[in-house]
């Protein structure tokens, strides 16, 4: 009998890449639960990939801040083998404006899903999808390992850290078969325009000035490790097949790139002049960190390698986005 995987947030940016990857690379039945918030852009991402009405895909609309209704549970059935919990409120700026929304959503959704998982007799893995931000700022060249101490600096990262701890508690207390993954900055096709890379594409296309977050001296910009959504999808599926219950894994970006360098790369691919100004957002906006860092050695030592190259996927993302400008609309 074919396996069944339940993916929350499957209409979101990383979620839809993972749905597509599972659909192409397995014969599993796919169940998606998504509340279709503004970040999901409706079913458009799944429609673009051809997965929305595929024969092995079931789609349910539900806000996991509440328990999964009995009717949806009945439709899903009890033969769920894997749960991959990707659904979350993720935008740091929004978490600073409305922290209660983020804490309610990211913690309660995880708690409700954990409770639901306890009703599934064939569950093999509860896979919690977390962020590099739970560790806080990575000063100098720091790269955090999986079990390093958390030090979240904003409501978003605090909500993800708290949800991780609840997952660990459910593993210890109720033997939920847990795996946790921490992920770095994702990019790729169909990303919401509030994120830095599509925002750069839009501003460069419109000859607008880009604000580059910098250190107080306004000479050095903040940095991120970027990784394409399809690389993340490949890593998650690899871990489902090869990871160990009770373990945490870091999915590290291939290359550390400064905000200014990223904007310059995008402008270069677009063959347009970059207009920018360095802005010391960090000092004026508590909760924003200029650098995060994860040590991905553990995953790579298991034999995983990133299937896609950073520069090539960035160039293709820029080209694809310019051909599909609807994804640059608010």
Give residue-wise pLDDT tens across range 179-221.
Answer: 999 999 999 999 999 899 999 999 999 999 999 988 888 878 8
Whether 254 has a pLDDT exceeding 90, the answer reads no
Give residue-wise pLDDT tens across range 36-63.
Answer: 987 778 899 999 999 988 899 999 999 9
Query: Of the residues 20, 34, 89, 132, which is catalytic?
Result: 132
Q: Quick one: what percent of the chain has pLDDT higher than 90?
A: 81
In this prediction the pTM is 0.95
Task: Specify whether 38 is catalytic.
Answer: no
Q: Angle between the 310-323 and 259-270 helix axes, to the nearest 10 degrees?
A: 60
Query: Of the residues 156, 269, 276, 292, which is catalytic?
Result: 156
Give residue-wise pLDDT tens across range 66-95.
Answer: 999 999 999 999 999 999 999 998 777 788
User: What is the average pLDDT value for the chain, to the nearest integer?
Assistant: 93
Percent helix, strand, coil in the chain, to 5, is 45, 20, 40
Q: How far apart are CA 40 and CA 190, in angstroms?
A: 10
Higher pLDDT, 4 or 223: 4
Taking a C-beta distance cutoff of 8 angstroms, is the pair 20, 236 a contact?
no
Q: How far apart are CA 118 and CA 317, in angstroms?
A: 40
The average pLDDT across 273-287 equals 75
Q: Which CATH superfamily is domain 192-224+255-291+309-328 in?
A: UDP-galactose 4-epimerase, domain 1 (3.90.25.10)
Task: Specify whether 132 is catalytic.
Answer: yes
**Three-state DSSP state, 90:** coil
Looking at residue 163, its pLDDT comes to: 97
Task: Specify whether 292 is catalytic.
Answer: no
C-alpha to C-alpha distances, 264 to 197, 200, 271, 297, nearest whole angstrom: 11, 10, 10, 29
Domain coordinates in residue numbering, the chain:
4-186+226-251, 192-224+255-291+309-328
Please tell me the CATH code under which domain 4-186+226-251 is placed: 3.40.50.720
Give residue-wise pLDDT tens across range 126-163.
Answer: 999 999 999 999 988 899 999 999 999 989 999 999 99
Query: Of the residues 20, 133, 164, 189, which is catalytic?
Result: 133
């Amino acid at each position: 009998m074919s396996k069944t995987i339940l993916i929350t947030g499957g209409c979101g940016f990383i979620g839809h890449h993972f749905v597509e990857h599972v659909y192409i690379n397995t014969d599993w039945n796919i169940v998606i639960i998504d509340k279709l918030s503004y970040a999901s852009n409706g079913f458009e991402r799944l429609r673009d990939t051809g997965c929305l009405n595929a024969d092995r895909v079931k789609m349910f609309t539900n806000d996991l801040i509440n328990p999964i209704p009995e009717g949806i549970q009945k439709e899903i059935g009890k033969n769920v083998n894997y749960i991959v919990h990707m659904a979350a409120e993720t935008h740091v700026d929004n978490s600073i404006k409305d922290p209660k929304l983020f804490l309610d959503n990211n913690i309660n959704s995880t708690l409700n899903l954990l409770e639901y998982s306890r009703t599934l007799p064939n569950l093999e893995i509860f896979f919690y999808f977390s962020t590099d931000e739970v560790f806080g700022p990575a000063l100098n060249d720091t790269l955090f390992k999986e079990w390093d101490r958390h030090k979240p600096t904003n409501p978003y990262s605090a909500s993800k850290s708290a949800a991780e701890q609840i997952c660990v508690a459910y593993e210890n207390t109720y033997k939920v078969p847990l795996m946790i993954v921490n992920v770095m900055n994702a990019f790729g096709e169909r990303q919401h325009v509030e994120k830095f890379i599509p925002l750069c594409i839009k501003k460069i296309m419109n000859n607008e000035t880009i604000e580059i977050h910098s250190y107080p001296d306004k000479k050095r910009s903040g940095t991120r490790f970027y990784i394409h959504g399809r690389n993340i999808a490949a890593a998650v599926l690899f871990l489902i097949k090869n990871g160990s219950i009770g373990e945490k894994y870091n999915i590290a970006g291939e290359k550390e790139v400064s905000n200014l360098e990223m904007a310059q790369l995008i402008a270069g691919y677009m063959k347009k002049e970059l207009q920018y100004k360095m802005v010391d957002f960090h000092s004026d906006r508590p909760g924003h960190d200029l650098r995060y860092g994860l040590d991905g050695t553990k995953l790579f030592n298991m034999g995983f390698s990133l299937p896609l190259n950073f520069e090539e996927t960035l160039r293709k993302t820029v080209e694809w986005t310019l051909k599909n400008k609807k994804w640059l609309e608010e």
